[in-house]
C-alpha cells in the first residue's frame, strides 16, 4: 500500500530535477533574461525593462550583425575610465575633447554587463558627428538614435580592429560606450537581445 505514494514522490522529485536541469541549461547556453540598468538605450529600451538574449547562436559560431542590440562584457576601461593602448592614457586626461576614441580596449574585461547596439564591424572606419555614426565615410541610417551636442558627440575616425566591434547606446548624449573605452572583442559579446517581456505593455521584438 505504501509503494505507490513512495513511487509518486520519487517521480515528482525526478520531474522537478529534470525541469530544473533543462531550465538552467537553457539559461546558460540558449536564452537568458537581462534587466536594462540605465537610460543609455532610450528610446529603444527603457530603464527597468527586461529582455531575453539569444546566447546560443553566438556559441555555435554566429557573429554579431550591424544594428544588433547586444549584451556584452565591456573592457575594464569602462569602469576605470582608461583606454587600452599605451600612450592613450586615461579617458578623461585628454577626454572626448580631443575627439579621439580608443583604438583598442583594455586587455581585461570588467565584472559587469552592458547593453548597446553594434554600429561598427571589424575593419570598419568609424567616426561620430553630432552623435551620429559615419561608417566608412557615409552617414549611417539610424532612426533609433538621438542627436546630441558636446565634445563626446564628435569623435575622429578609428579603424575597428579585426575580431572586434564598435558599440554605442541609442541615447547618444547619455551612453558610456566604445567612444570612450574602445571596440569590444568578439569573445566578450554574450548574445543578441531578441524580445522584451517586461513590463507587459512593452512586450515585443527588439
Q: Of the listed 40, 164, 175, 178, which one is catalytic?
A: 40
Active site annotation includes 108:
no
CA–CA distance, 164 with 158 (Å, rounded to integer): 12
Q: Of the listed 104, 116, 164, 178, which one is catalytic?
A: 116
Active site annotation includes 40:
yes
Query: Active-site residues: which are they?
Result: 40, 116
Amino acid at each position: 500500500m505504501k509503494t505507490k505514494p513512495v513511487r509518486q514522490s520519487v517521480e515528482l522529485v525526478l520531474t522537478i530535477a529534470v525541469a530544473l536541469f533543462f531550465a538552467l541549461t537553457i539559461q546558460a547556453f540558449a536564452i537568458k533574461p537581462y534587466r536594462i540598468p540605465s537610460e543609455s538605450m532610450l528610446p529603444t529600451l527603457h530603464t527597468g525593462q527586461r529582455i531575453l538574449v539569444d546566447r546560443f547562436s553566438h556559441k555555435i559560431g554566429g557573429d554579431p550583425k550591424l544594428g544588433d542590440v547586444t549584451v556584452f562584457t565591456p573592457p575594464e576601461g569602462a569602469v576605470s575610465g582608461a583606454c587600452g593602448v599605451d600612450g592613450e592614457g586615461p579617458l578623461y586626461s585628454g577626454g572626448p575633447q580631443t575627439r579621439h576614441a580608443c583604438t583598442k580596449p583594455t586587455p581585461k574585461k570588467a565584472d559587469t554587463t552592458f547593453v548597446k547596439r553594434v554600429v561598427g564591424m571589424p575593419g570598419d572606419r568609424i567616426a561620430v558627428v553630432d552623435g551620429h555614426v559615419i561608417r566608412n565615410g557615409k552617414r549611417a541610417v539610424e532612426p533609433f538614435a538621438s542627436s546630441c551636442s558636446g565634445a563626446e558627440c564628435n569623435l575622429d575616425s578609428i579603424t575597428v580592429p579585426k575580431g572586434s566591434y564598435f558599440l554605442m547606446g541609442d541615447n547618444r548624449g547619455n551612453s558610456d560606450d566604445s567612444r570612450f573605452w574602445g571596440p569590444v572583442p568578439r569573445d566578450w559579446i554574450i548574445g543578441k537581445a531578441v524580445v522584451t517581456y517586461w513590463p507587459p505593455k512593452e512586450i515585443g521584438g527588439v
